[in-house]
Amino acid sequence: MSRVGYRPTTTEAPRLYPALRYKNAAKMIDWLGEAFGFSVRARHGEGDVVHHAELVFGSSMIMLGTVRDDDYGKMVGEPGSGGGKSIYIAVDDADAAYAKAKKAGATIIQELTNRDYGSREFICRDPEGNVWSFGTYWPKGSERA
């Protein structure tokens, strides 16, 4: 069955949930709230070990947990400069998101810039090396490209 042209209803829950591993997930949960505005929906674990957490940003969510030497952990690997991993977050005000991330200590790897497609964006790394892009470009799954 082809899904080309599929347009979800506005009441459908998201289907994509980026999942991240952190060496110190407990600390990163607090940092992601302070720096990027995430709120905790669920957190499971013991002490500083986070088996599974769900952090919400608007109608979107990420999942994360502490790096573990299990089968999934071996597939995903540890955070760092391995490349190929980045999350884009659509925001209303890139300048405000930039100021908040910078104040919390995010490493800015690309300063605020205006793109030719109309987005204002910046790119940063969190304290454990994951790359985060923030911009005003906000594609909607229910709208045509």
Side by side, the strands of the sheet bearing 86-90 are: 86-90, 131-135, 120-125, 107-114
For 1-21, the pLDDT digits (tens) are 344 444 545 567 777 889 999
Alpha-carbon gap, residue 145 to 124, rounded angstroms? 27
Pick left, alpha or beta for residue 47 (phi over 0 → left; psi -120 to 50 → alpha; otherwise beta).
left
For 32-87, the pLDDT digits (tens) are 999 999 999 999 999 889 999 999 999 899 999 999 888 877 777 777 766 667 89
Instruction: Please tell me the pTM assigned to this model.
Output: 0.82
Question: Residues 109-124: what's their mean pLDDT?
Answer: 94
